[in-house]
Structures are given as C-alpha cells and as structure tokens.
Amino acid sequence: MKIFYTGESFIETLVSSDNNFLAFDLEKDKWQYVDNIDDADAIALQGNTDSIEVLNKQYETLISLGYKNQLLIFLDIFHMDEILWHWAYFNIKNFYFSKNITNFVYIHTNKNFVDDKSIYNDHLFNRQKHYFTDFESSEGKGRVWTYIATKKCYELDNLQRDLTSEHVYLCPNRIYSFKNKRNSYRKELKKYLENLSQKGFLSDPSNGFILEPEEYCLLDYMQIKPLRGRRYMVPYS
C-alpha cells in the first residue's frame, strides 16, 4: 500500500514527528512511501489528541493538499494507558464523521479496546524487538529512541544466576510529575515495592537512584530533568 510521506520535511499538522513512521518502516514490505498525495492510498495522522483545534488543522491541511478519500490512519501507539483511547478515539471518530469522512482507522496499543474503527497493534513490543535484534539496520535510525543510544544499549550480557540470591525483581519504574493514569499506577507499584526493597532493584530518580544503562557514558543524559520525564531516552538493556 502506498502511504503519503514527505521525508524529513514531514507535515507537522498531520504528524508530530518522523518517529511516527517507524511503525511503517518495521513493515516496509507492506508499505511504499510516496510524496505526492494523489499517488497515496493512505495518509498517516497523529491520533493521541482530543483537541478540536488540532483536528481542525489536520482537516484543513488534508483539504489543502487535495485529499481524495484516501484511507486515514490515526496513530496512537506510543504509550500504554487504558484511558487514552477513549477520549481521543471517540472525539476523532465524531469529528470526521461530522465531515462525512468514514474511511479511516485508529491504531492503538490497548488490547482490550474494541470498536469498529479501531485496530490493536503492539508497536511498543515491535519497536523493542527491532532494536534488540536489528539495531544496525536503517529502519530504526534517527529516531528519538536512538539519538544518543548505541548498539550496546540493546545488548544483554549473560547473567550468572545465583540461586541463593534473594533479589526477585527488577523495576525500572519511570515516574514523573505529569498526571495520568499510567503514572498513578507506577507510583502505587513503587510504594508497594519499597516495602520489598531488599528483594529487588527499583529505580527512583526523585532520590537520585537511576538504573544504569549498559553504556555508562550515557548516565549523565538520563539525569537531565528526571522528575519531568524530559531526559534523553536511554534504554536500560
């Protein structure tokens, strides 16, 4: 299927960044990029929004580009949170129905969420599998997850198993100040595991404890504004 893509000069009102197209790059045998909207069978759009202003800008951009009822693919695949799809999906669905546009699908990561225009896709698993098994390929390069990461970040050293060890869990729990459901669950998980602190390893950036990545030279990047979650994305391995 041919999908509209303008390369590095992506249209920001449709998608927020080039990172959105990783999902298509990981299935490149099924997709062909075209930079002329008239040649496209499908158009990708940002899906995690309920802002009428953003939806209006998307719609106006589509019309100005000469949209001709191609399949619209709304992407909401970059977080795990069971409430995201309810407020975004139904607002997008109602908005485009009001414009007499019904040729669209909404791609998300909530396996339990089912509706006539929604499609589940485990993009987070597919992304991690790609980086751990094929880091050197071009598909994943130049994305937010690899700006400073190295191949070693996605390699696992052999672990010497100690059957006498009392450590039974490893929890790289990313907690920051934004209010959302997944962050609330993370805080509850942290509170529970703190009572079992002698039995495992728990990250706690607010108190300066960060699980180190395989590349120790990247540790400083992980400490940038840890409470806001706006540090560089460095995988733990």
Burial label for 82, CB within 10 Å (0-12, 13-18, 19+), is: middle
User: pTM of the entire structure?
Assistant: 0.78
Q: Are 74 and 45 in contact (CB under 8 A)?
A: yes
Name the least confident of 30-39, 96-105, 119-128, 182-191.
182-191
* Long-range pairs of 86-94 with CB within 8 A, sequence gap ≥ 24: 86/113, 87/50, 88/47, 88/48, 88/49, 88/50, 89/47, 89/113, 89/115, 89/117, 89/118, 91/49, 91/50, 91/52, 91/55, 92/47, 92/49, 92/50, 92/55, 93/117
Rounded CA separation 42/58 (Å) = 15
The 10s digit of each residue's pLDDT in 35-75 is 999 999 999 998 877 788 889 999 999 999 999 999 999 99
- Going by pLDDT thresholds of 50, 70 and 90, the confidence category of residue 183 is confident
Whether 228 shows a pLDDT value over 50: the answer reads: no
- Kindly tell me if the per-residue pLDDT of 98 is higher than 90: yes
pLDDT digits (tens, 9 = 90+) for 128-150: 888 888 888 877 777 777 777 78
Query: Among residues of the chain, what percentage have pLDDT more than 90?
Result: 24
Amino acid in the structure at residue 161: R
